[in-house]
Amino acid sequence: MCDGGVVKILVVEDDPAIAESLAVGLGRHGFEAEVVHDGTSALHQADGCDLVLLDLGLPDLDGSEVCRRLRERSNTPIIVLSARSNELDRVVLLDTGADDYVVKPFGLRELIARIRAVIRRSGTGVPDHRLDLGPLVVDLRSHEVSVDGTPIEVTPKEFDLLAHLASNPGAALNRRSILEEVWDVNWYGSPKTLDVHVASLRRKLGHPEWIQAVRGVGFKLVVDATAGPADEPDGA
Ligand code: CA
């Protein structure tokens, strides 16, 4: 969903001035905004987006109808922008599948906070929950690991170790700090435990070269994003 960790927001707003200022404001906060001015275009453009900001008063379709149709086919979060503020509208809207509702006029700061909250709740397209290193994806929320789209079973400790390495791709992490981070500060077990877990992860990921030993330091994760799928195990 999220190319390069940028959250892409579809702004559906027929008022060009509001649409433009929203796009600029979203851009300033690190979001990528795409603007459409009517409901039909919204239905065409929504699929590639991580979140939809949807004005209710559109020239062709009613915003609540757009909302309902979008919800029928995807879980992409929808925040409705509306001048209608009474409680009934709110209930009706949330019924059509909107995730939240912002009443016009609103401040950009409030809108950004709502967007962040909805994205956090939805668990979709959230860069800080999903470490995407090309062929290797580590999902910090679901604790799932995949290589080339294939789920990999790892133990909880292996997951913590991989998540730590994947949070600092390319960085040489020293053994002491890895042990403290992944096991815990008061952990006095054998340092060999780390090597055992590294060996196991290398085997499970099918790319032993991704977790590199750094002499005199510890380990670093280097995922070659251009590499193809792993070779078949040679069975030897
Ligand atoms: Ca409007």
For residue 73, report the distance from its CA to the centre of ligand 1, in Å. 24
Q: Does residue 63 register a pLDDT over 70?
A: yes
Q: Give residue 141's pLDDT.
A: 78
What is the rounded average pLDDT for all residues in the chain?
Answer: 84
Pair 150, 106 in one domain: no
Residues 62 and 21 in one domain: yes
Q: pLDDT at position 231, please?
A: 46
- Look at residue 93 and tell me whether its pLDDT is greater than 80: no
137 occurs within a structural domain: yes
Task: Report CA(219)–ligand 1 centroid distance (Å).
Answer: 54
Domain count along the chain? 2
Q: Are residues 114 and 66 in the same domain?
A: yes
CA of 154 to the centre of ligand 1 (A): 49
Beta bridge partners of 130: 139
Q: Which residue has the tokens 């275009």?
A: 41
Q: For residues 155 and 56, state if they share a domain.
A: no
The domain that contains 203 carries what CATH number? 1.10.10.10
The reported pLDDT for the residue numbered 9 is 96
Render pLDDT for 79-88 as a digit per residue (tens, 0 to 9): 999 876 666 5
- Asked if residue 43 and residue 15 are part of one domain, the reply reads yes
Q: For residue 76, what is the DSSP state? A: -
Cα 88 to middle of ligand 1, angstroms = 19
Q: Note whether residue 102 is domain-resident.
A: yes
Centre of ligand 1 to C-alpha 127, Å, is 31
Q: For 175-220, what is each residue's pLDDT tens digit?
A: 988 887 788 656 666 778 899 999 999 999 999 999 999 999 999 9
For residues 116 and 178, membership in a common domain is answered with no
User: Distance, CA 15 to ligand 1 centroid (Å)?
Assistant: 6
Domain identity same for 21 and 95: yes
Judgement on whether residues 8 and 116 belong to the same structural domain of the protein: yes
Last residue of a domain, one of 122, 147, 176: 122
Give the distance (Å) from ligand 1 centre to CA of residue 28: 23
What number of other Cβ atoms are within 10 A of residue 143's Cβ?
Answer: 12
Q: What is the pLDDT of residue 102?
A: 87
Query: Cis ω on the peptide bond leading into residue 105 (within 30° of 0)?
Result: yes
Are 149 and 111 part of one and the same domain? no
For position 55, which CATH number holds?
3.40.50.2300
Ligand 1 center to residue 143 CA distance, Å? Answer: 41
Same domain, 140 and 86: no
Ligand 1: centre distance to CA 121 (Å): 27
From the CA of 3, how far away is ligand 1's center (Å)? 29
Does some domain include residue 235?
A: no
- The whole domain housing 195 covers 130-221
Give 36 Cα–ligand 1 centroid separation in angstroms. Answer: 12
* Whether residues 31 and 84 fall in one domain: yes
Tokens 């200022």 found at: 21
Residue 227 falls within a domain, yes or no?
no
CB 127: neighbour CB atoms within 10 A? 16
| pLDDT tens readout for residues 11-56 | 999 999 999 999 998 988 878 999 999 999 999 999 889 999 999 8
User: 197: which residues sit within 8 A by CB, 6+ positions away?
Assistant: 157, 158, 161
The residue among 61, 93, 122 that closes a domain is 122
Centroid of ligand 1 to alpha carbon of 110 (angstroms): 19
- Nearest C-alpha neighbor of 140 from the set 125, 151, 153, 129: 129
Q: What is the mean pLDDT of residues 98-116?
A: 87
CA triple 117-162-125, angle to 5 deg:
25
